[in-house]
Chains A and B, each alone.
Chain A
Amino acid sequence: MKNRLLTVDDSKTVRILVKKAFKNCELDILEATNGVEGLSVASKEQPDLVLLDVTMPVMDGVEMLTRLKGDANTKQIPVIMLTAEGGRENVLKIAKLGIRDYIVKPFEEEVLVEKVGRVIDLNKREVHKTILDKVKVLLVEDKPAIVDAIKDGLSHLPWEFTAATKAYEGIDMYTDTDFDLVLMSLSLPNDAAFEVIRKMRSKRHGVPIIGMVVKIDSERQHKALQAGFDATVTKPIDLVELETRACRVMGVDTSPKYFQFKDKYMVIKVPQVCSMARISEMQSFLSPKVTEAVDSGYKMVVLDASESDDMDVNLIKFILDVFAACKEISLNCVIVGNEKLRKEGQGFEETKNWKILSSIEEVEVS
């Protein structure tokens, strides 16, 4: 049986961050938004660990902790504080009430996972799939044009699609095959998608399911998330967005999309559109990949921005981060970009002195 962790925090942001931190663990996450709710869930569900905030409306964390430890039914449940209240005096006072650990916000995911892992077994799942690996996708969609568009649009990935045009076909296929991902229309006749997800979840937990819904139908989007869909994408479907979201819910390592090891150097491939989410994704890989490059004997990093047309602030910031990371570890770094990018680069104080080569071939010659 999976361990259960109860997060008690009035901030939805923190509850999402907690869920995100444990996404690769076999762990059920329960939620409560204040001390009263927290006590009720703790008493009813008997979680294996409570992560507890201090400052909350209705009942704060200190009172909840006092009551939890004063109740014979719940006093054995271990508690880790996760709070912005971190003055020495406050920490000592709370520690006396009986806690296993104390984490002060802001917190790093790794620290949270490590401290929780000291108290309960996390059963971490091996994340072995990368974006270059085969992924089995079940597509439950009654519109053949959408099925074709998704298959064509994601044909650059080694993903294998099986399509079901009817709800019952989808359930049968899901029962017979171990899929890595389900993409399901929320517009199936008779609102069948909600019944299908219920049946799928009752047969097998843990397979991520994404709902596809018409953009303006926000009511159905909310209903889908409540019904247990891991994410939704809106129709007309943006295939880049679908790919990003699918990788995220499956926990697929997307770093090979951006970081590629060639014979003599590591290439950092900058996408055409550098949204903040993309930059954050690339930044999260930067330090380990640069370290991996040095460990593997590479001496140079090529930042390939030739597909990018826009020297915007996100891209400039990312390039500066790459320079800093390379400098710290004594790696050479060169930029490759197109003519438009080179011209735009002349216009900024931070970028006007950058030498931007026109192609990878030029890098090899130089």
Chain B
Amino acid sequence: MTNVISIPDDQVQTMVLNGLTDVFTTMLQGEIKLVSCKSLMDVAEGTAPLVGVEETLVVGNVGFAGAISGMVYIAMPESLAKEITGSMLGMDEDELEGEHEMINDAIGEITNMSAGAYKNQMSDLGYSCRLTIPSIIRGKYFVVEAAKAAFRQLYLFNYLGQPLSLELIMKMNDTFTD
């Protein structure tokens, strides 16, 4: 299947996977495993980032804009966000107790690097675009309702025995000139 951005879906998936794997291997010396992948193109209502997780979620968001524009959301349980932060910065769990700001910053940076790794591959294919500053959403039981997009895919991963999702939304901008 090919989306309207003229790149086959499996090529997009490979780029997403390459980017995320590179970030987790380089920054965390860890292995992230793809569990499933599904298209959300036909989902009319909003979707929850990680269904069934009771814990508070930490969601990093980074946008990209240019010849294509879109968003990357990376969602994970708060406990995993804490482990990732500790592992990346060499900090113990108790050093991070109550340090929401530090955890938000670290997950924002992981999302920034992952979105960057993906969008750099897109740029090299001729879809030049730039990243936005990362932001963080924290909460439970919320849904993402995206505006009409040409491509919307949810990838579910397993990292350290916990779930992590990456949602990619993008569309083509016909009138873009750099």
Contact = CB atoms under 8 A, between A and B. Distances in A.
A275 B92 contact: yes
Interface string B99-127: 00110011011001101110110111000
B83 A105 contact: no
Interface in A243-266: 244-245, 248
Nearest to A107: B26
Interface string B160-171: 110000000000
Given A84-B131, A105-B112, A276 B120 contact: no
Contacts of B119: 87
Given A20-B89, A89-B128, A313 B161 contact: yes
Given A16-B89, A55-B133, A89-B123, A241 B94 contact: yes
A108 interface: yes
A16 B132 CA distance: 21
Interface in A206-259: 218, 234, 238, 241, 244-245, 248
A84 B117 contact: yes
Contacts of B40: none
Contacts of B88: 13, 17
Interface stretch (A160-168, A179-187, A277-285, A293-301): A277-285
Nearest to B123: A87
A14 B120 contact: no
Given A86-B120, A106-B22, A248-B90, A55 B132 contact: yes
A280 B88 CA distance: 9
A56 interface: yes
Nearest to B178: A89
Contacts of B85: 13
Interface string A100-115: 0000111110000000
Contact of B86 (A55, A90, A276): A276
A175 interface: no
A275 B93 contact: yes
Contacts of A245: 92
B94 A88 contact: no
Contacts of A218: 98
Contacts of B113: 84, 105-106
Given A13-B109, A277-B90, A87 B115 contact: no
A83 B26 CA distance: 15
B76 to A, nearest CB: 14
B23 interface: yes
Nearest to B126: A89
Contacts of A86: 116-117, 120, 123
Nearest to A15: B105
A317 interface: yes
A106 B113 CA distance: 6
A86 B134 CA distance: 16
A304 B160 CA distance: 22
A11 B90 CA distance: 16
B90 to A, nearest CB: 7
B102 A12 contact: yes
Contact of A277 (B92, B105, B108, B130): B92
Contact of A90 (B23, B98, B123): B123
A55 B105 contact: no
Interface in A72-110: 83-90, 104-108
Contacts of A281: 90
Given A12-B102, A90-B130, A276 B93 contact: yes
Nearest to A16: B89
B29 interface: yes
Nearest to A93: B178
A70 interface: no
A281 B86 CA distance: 11
A10 interface: yes
Given A276-B86, A277-B91, A314-B160, A85 B29 contact: no
B87 interface: yes
Contacts of A13: 85, 88-89, 102, 105-106, 108-109
Contacts of B132: 55
B109 to A, nearest CB: 4
Contacts of B86: 276-277, 280
Interface string B14-56: 0000000011001101000000000000000000000000000
Closest 9 CB pairs of A and B: A87-B123, A84-B116, A106-B26, A313-B161, A86-B120, A13-B109, A13-B106, A11-B109, A105-B113
Given A87-B122, A276-B93, 20 more contacts: A11-B112, A13-B88, A13-B105, A16-B89, A20-B90, A57-B133, A84-B113, A84-B131, A85-B116, A85-B130, A86-B123, A87-B119, A87-B120, A106-B23, A106-B117, A218-B98, A277-B86, A277-B92, A281-B90, A317-B160
